[in-house]
Copies of this chain bind each other. A is one copy, B any other.
Amino acid sequence: MLGIKEIGIYIPVGREPNHDKKEKWGIDDTFLRDKIGVDRHAFRDPGEEATDMGYKAFQHLASKIDIDRTKVEVLVFVTQNPDERMPHAGTILHEKIGLPYTCASFDIPLGCSGFMYGLSVITGFMKENGMTRGLLITADPYTKCVNPEDKNTSLLFGDGATATYITDDPVLVPGKYVFGNLSEKWREIKLVDNWLYMNGPAVVKFVAKYVPENVRRTLEKNNLKKEEIDRWIMHQASRFMHKVISENLDISPDKMPWDCRDYGNTVSSSIPLLLEKELHNKQHKHYFICGFGIGLSWGSSVLRRV
């Protein structure tokens, strides 16, 4: 039985406040609070690359739990902003952590669904290869590709990283997943001239239609009722999208935390950043986890406390 043993996180100390941008974008406090939900974005240090951020998340993980680096068997690195176009960033992080040459590594270039895909891929790969110790690291310096002059994206995204230790002695174990990929809409979130373009209304429409359906299918597949979920750990896209989902599914906001006011939408790191706070909260038995975004791509599962 493989699952999540421990999680380390890294949010850069640098912050950029959204409140300074109110006049520029003609927006007010209500809009920032209720539609965006982000007061300040986390900004990486100048020159800080994806693997630097991932390494800091690993250091936090290693400060919480003893990890024998010589026994780690696989490193899966989720990022859309790798240090280099080639080779894969996973090998650069592999060197920084000091993993042995017997430890496999590969990248998964996904955004807001990246942790969900990553978790299923790494556990599947570990089972397929009889492995018991793996690292799933998410790190995306999105401020590299967010244009400060774009109102649609510059109010939302922040930099962050996480390191999840997967072992055969887990605290939380994933159940069955449901994945999706609405490829006909891939043009709604993409790079244009190296800057992130996002068609906000199209993305909201997608989220309102596909995420609740995906949640229902995931619960069904896991034989769980909505009421049995203690905490809903949803990707922190925007406050408005978060509300659309909780209202559609009739879930109390108390059970579906909005956590990123101080650091922003950290893409593939949003879910493990929240899970890190919950990991040792024994009051909660079942978590629903769900990521969705660029691709358009999404994935859900549940986590059960062992």
Binding site for B on A (CB under 8 A): 74-75, 80, 82, 84-88, 90-92, 94-95, 99, 101-111, 117, 120-121, 123-130, 145, 176-177, 179-184, 186, 189-191, 194, 196, 210, 294-297, 299
Contact = CB atoms under 8 A, between A and B. Distances in A.
Nearest to A174: B128
A129 to B, nearest CB: 6
Chain copies in the assembled complex:
2
Contacts of A95: 183-184, 186
A120 B125 contact: yes
A181 B91 contact: yes
Nearest to A88: B109
B191 A105 contact: no
Contacts of A184: 95
A104 B189 contact: no
Nearest to A221: B130
Given A87-B190, A124-B124, A189-B87, A104 B179 contact: yes
Nearest to A178: B102
B129 A125 contact: no
Contact of A108 (B92, B101, B107, B297): B107
Contacts of A183: 91-92, 94-95, 99, 101, 105
A79 to B, nearest CB: 10
A86 B190 contact: yes
Given A128-B127, A191-B84, A117 B106 contact: yes
List the 8 closest pairs (A to B, CB-CB), nearest first.
A124-B124, A124-B128, A104-B179, A94-B183, A95-B183, A124-B125, A91-B183, A91-B186
